[in-house]
Structure 1
């Protein structure tokens, strides 16, 4: 049986004023957590806390133990600054007041 080639994946982290995008070549069986460690994002952004911050692949939350597939985009999510429900209520109230 032929040995599977390395996988091409991307690790991403975005801040309002800065973004981190790192393409990586990893071995088959590499997990989300391993790719994050290999990418250097934790050194570049020491405030990242993988215990409290969710991670995902293409916008779907995953665990750090999830095995990667070729061309996966690993994302580290930041905490929400505003509650989406409160934001919608404020927009609706503003729109109603303007009418």
Structure 2
């Protein structure tokens, strides 16, 4: 297998800080390996590169330990969700329904 280097990007973001790194990695590098090579855990205390969900260009990858990167791809390191988006929408709809019912008085 050809191990010539490929160019990739690795990104991670918090609400107030983000970082994008351009890396050259050997061909055959997996998503997880690229995240670990980025060293972003040194810049973002508490970031678990070995266990964080990962994706490529906004699409989550189910098995980042197996997905081999291609030249030019952007590895995204995702944060855990604070709240389930479906649950938040349900709560917002319930509040709106209660407010509407209160207007009819």
Q: What is the TM-score with the length of structure 2 in the denominator?
A: 0.77
Q: Secondary structure at 1:34's aligned position in 2?
A: helix
Greater Rg over alpha carbons, structure: 2
Shift of 1:4: 7.4
Q: Quick check: 1:15 aligned with 2:14?
A: yes
Q: Which residue of 2 aligns with 1:91?
A: 92
Question: Which stretches in structure 1 are left out of the alignment for 5+ residues?
Answer: none
Q: Which residue of 2 aligns with 1:25?
A: 24
Shift of 1:5: 5.2
Deviations along 1:37-76, whole A, 9 cap, x unmatched? 2222121123112344211212222413321101111111
Alignment of 1:1-99 (within 5 A): 6-58=5-57, 59-61=59-61, 62-99=63-100
Deviations along 1:13-47, whole A, 9 cap, x unmatched? 11111111111122211122221222221211231
Q: Which stretches of structure 1, 4 residues or longer, exceed 6 Å deviation after superposition?
A: none
C-alpha distance in structure 1 between counterparts of 2:86 and 2:64, whole Å:
26
Q: Secondary structure at 1:94's aligned position in 2?
A: helix
Q: What is the TM-score with the length of structure 1 in the denominator?
A: 0.81
Q: Secondary structure at 1:46's aligned position in 2?
A: coil
